[in-house]
Structure 1
Amino acid sequence: MEHMIQPQIPRLTKTNYGNWSIQMKALLGSQDCWDMVVKGYVEPENTAAEAALTNEEKKALRDALKRDQRALYYIFQAVDESNFEKIAEATTAKQAWETL
């Protein structure tokens, strides 16, 4: 069985945004979820739209949602209390990243 190594999450401070963002891009890229920050996760417009999806499309949507939430979790973990308050309402990684 492969052991999962918890990556070291860089911490955003008042003065290190440039370095922090480079490190976060690398971290999120290594976790296969940087594209969720760039493109964002798009929720199906309604249940009818979701019902019309093929099983393959539903699986891709579920995978995208998981990757988006993983990216959002890492972003939440990488900020201090005051920055967390700014992004606490974000529901996607893209929203949180753009707020920061």
Structure 2
Amino acid sequence: MTAERDALAERVRALLPHDRATREVAMFGGLSFMVDDAMAVAAGRDGGLLVRTDPARHEELLGVRGAEPAVMGTDRPMGPGWITIRPDGLATDEQIAFWIGVGLEGRRG
């Protein structure tokens, strides 16, 4: 656990839908937030956010501030449908809420 991950996790918890079943699971080296038993986002050790996206929106979403292709470990791309958001793209609650929404939509893609 890191202070960065814990701080982001607190912010994510506050913005998750409260009318749906949610749980937290350690995976992908961070803390994943499951909504209705499917991962939406995960808070990473560095304070970044891993987001499950609709693969059809991958290139579009990479144009959003802080977004970059997700990489497993140091060199294995996770491919379309997975994006990492650097901490500089998570400065406001609105930015985090946007990515949570993308993660909830991405589970259907």
Which structure shows the bigger proportion of residues in strand conformation? 2
> Fold match, TM over 0.5?
no
Higher RCO by CA contacts (8 Å cutoff, separation 6 or greater): 1
TM-score (norm 1): 0.26
